[in-house]
Chains A and B, each alone.
Chain A
Amino acid sequence: MTAPVVELRGLSRRFGAVEAARAVTLDLRPGEIHALIGPNGAGKSTLIGLTAGSLRPDAGSVLLGGEDVTRLDAVGRARKGLGRTFQVSSLAMELTVLENALLGAVGRSGQVMRLFRSALCDRDLALLARAALERVGLVEEADRRTADLSHGQRRLLEVAVALTLEPRAFLMDEPMAGLGAEGSRRLTGFLDRLREEAPILLVEHDMDAVFAIADRISVLCYGEIIATGTAEDIRRDPRVRIAYLGDDAA
């Protein structure tokens, strides 16, 4: 078996009385889409936050390419190659679509302290940013203000910014929310191909999409992983049915 790109080992995090993550262990292997599903409040976004470094775990560790990155914050982990998209759009709304993508390219290039050259006129940065927009189908919108985009387009821009980072692994928090049936189908196809470049840890509510493209699915319930397996394994697992549908379903 190939070595995992991302490994979470016994991650725990408590918010007051709520245990949002309870000794979560999972891995993300090269070329796979590993989906994380679970009822609302199960701790999916917390787990993405713990993995990306925006939240600190109470216990456990995060490994990226075999290297322990638990002590690094979100900035450090992004530099090490974690590309994250947010559930609630975190884009710079006053900037244009292209400028948001350029920001990713600037972060990737490490040239943020360049004070006197135009970002828009830099060929390498612009190429990287435009290529990412092209891939998610937003290149036509490049000069629009981000605040003027539809909700679905913002989700795509989130993905485009993550692409400019050329990460070793993607962490995507509900990238399909608000896309509509056609948009969701297109993004599903796109993620299906993207996994060859870097594996994806995917939190998603669109079950059709998850069951269509995920190589493995982990089910999170009250901060705990209750099952991990292929789509077929998960469909058949009685614990999952109870978690989602109640005791009667078992």
Chain B
Amino acid sequence: MIRERHLNALVLGALLALPLWGFWAEAPFMITLATRAAILALAAVGLNLALGLGGLVSLGHAAFFGVGGYAAGILALHAQSFTPMMTWPITIQGTTSMPLIWLVAVVASALAALGIGALSLRTSGVYFIMITLAFGQMLYYFAVALPAYGGEDGVSIYVRNAFPGLNTLRPLPFFAICYVLLGLALLLSWRISVSPFGLALSAARQSEARVRTVGIEPYRLRLVAFVISGAITGLAGALFADLNRFVSPAMLSWHLSGEFIVLVVLGGVGRLLGPVVGAGLFVFLEHWLGGVSDHWMIFLGAALLLVVLFARGGLIGGLTAGSRS
């Protein structure tokens, strides 16, 4: 059996090798697939922090993904149409600068997570799942009812936003951006998981009474984790908008929230690279089986069933036989 550390290196290596091969073989769609996998992985890394470490089964994470996406879409739309976003009390212009868009996406999704988390985290179990779902759907219908930004039709980003020093219109530099951000999010996620905060969050998932008895309030821990989790997923949403050059309410739909959970469960709940493995497999099945049948999700369902039944700790858990070193 392979050690988790080695498997992680292999997975990150494969995700890097695929688009490089696509570049060399002049198959740009390979780069786009790898970019899509990296972005979905990033969104799931965010969810994994709440779900894996904190045990918070959020069925509303697409809300943060969508908020990040709309942040990118709206800022780009105003910049490209030369119209200010607002003129009163101050004038705010749009922008096509990726770093600035990411900042807005992260702050907006973190604020959304703070609001949703502050209320949802007062409940637990199935109620938490239902409340996060309800908030997610509220934002979904809000986006549908937003005529200024296309309502159900969404917003198009005519030209992919720009990053200083890189030509983001070419697939490989854009992949590189997504890959580096995924790497940074994984680094952040790993540092948090071994920190005193991560230790307490994990303990709160396993025994709330224990954490309270040592003088730590679980609610605060969970809220901070939920906000960081939402912010990472929001950043992924901004990148997703740039990948597709399009944002629509579908980015906020509960189906997508469910898919994020599937990605995490497939790869391994609470495993550092679980989301990456899950997203990789998801995109692989979507592309190769999607070409064979429109009903490719049946195969995804079968894969999920097999993983849940036979591989404790997802694919990573199954391949490493539970060894975490």
Contact = CB atoms under 8 A, between A and B. Distances in A.
Q: A and B, one complex?
A: yes
**Residue of A84, A90, A114, A122 with most partner-chain B CB within 10 A:** A90
Contacts of B213: 52, 74, 78, 84, 86, 90, 161
Contacts of A111: 196
A80 B232 CA distance: 36
B247 to A, nearest CB: 31
Nearest to B211: A103
A93 B206 contact: yes
A2 B68 CA distance: 62
B214 A95 contact: no
A90 B207 CA distance: 6
Interface in A84-130: 84, 86, 90-95, 99-100, 102-104, 106-120, 122, 125
A82 to B, nearest CB: 9
B296 interface: no
Contacts of B199: 95, 99, 102-103, 106, 119
Given A78-B214, A113-B224, A92 B196 contact: no
A239 interface: no
**Residue of A54, A75, A116 with most partner-chain B CB within 10 A:** A75
A84 B209 CA distance: 11
B206 A106 contact: no
A103 B210 CA distance: 9
Given A79-B215, A165-B214, A86 B209 contact: yes
Contact of B195 (A91, A103, A115): A115
A99 B200 CA distance: 10
Contacts, number: 105
A114 B198 CA distance: 9
B212 interface: yes
Interface in B150-199: 191-192, 194-199
A75 B220 CA distance: 12
Given A94-B206, A114-B196, A116-B191, A54 B214 contact: no
A244 to B, nearest CB: 30
A100 B206 CA distance: 11
Contact of B203 (A74, A86, A92): A92
Contacts of B203: 92, 95, 99-100, 103
B274 to A, nearest CB: 16
Instruction: Tell me the interface secondary structure of chain B in the complex.
Output: helix
A125 B196 contact: yes
B195 A119 contact: yes
B217 interface: yes
B206 A119 contact: no
**Residue of A90, A93, A112 with most partner-chain B CB within 10 A:** A112
B30 interface: no
Contacts of A76: 215
A12 to B, nearest CB: 23
Nearest to B221: A112
A104 B214 contact: yes
B207 A112 contact: no
B202 interface: yes
A95 B209 CA distance: 15
Given A54-B209, A91-B210, A103-B200, A112 B216 contact: yes
Contacts of B210: 90-92, 100, 103, 161
22 contacts: A52-B213, A74-B209, A75-B212, A75-B217, A78-B212, A78-B213, A79-B215, A92-B202, A92-B206, A92-B207, A103-B200, A106-B200, A106-B216, A107-B214, A112-B196, A112-B216, A114-B195, A115-B191, A115-B198, A116-B192, A119-B195, A122-B196
Interface of B: 191-192, 194-200, 202-203, 206-207, 209-217, 221, 224
Given A78-B215, A106-B196, 13 more contacts: A75-B217, A86-B213, A92-B206, A93-B207, A102-B196, A103-B216, A106-B199, A107-B211, A112-B197, A112-B200, A119-B195, A119-B196, A122-B196
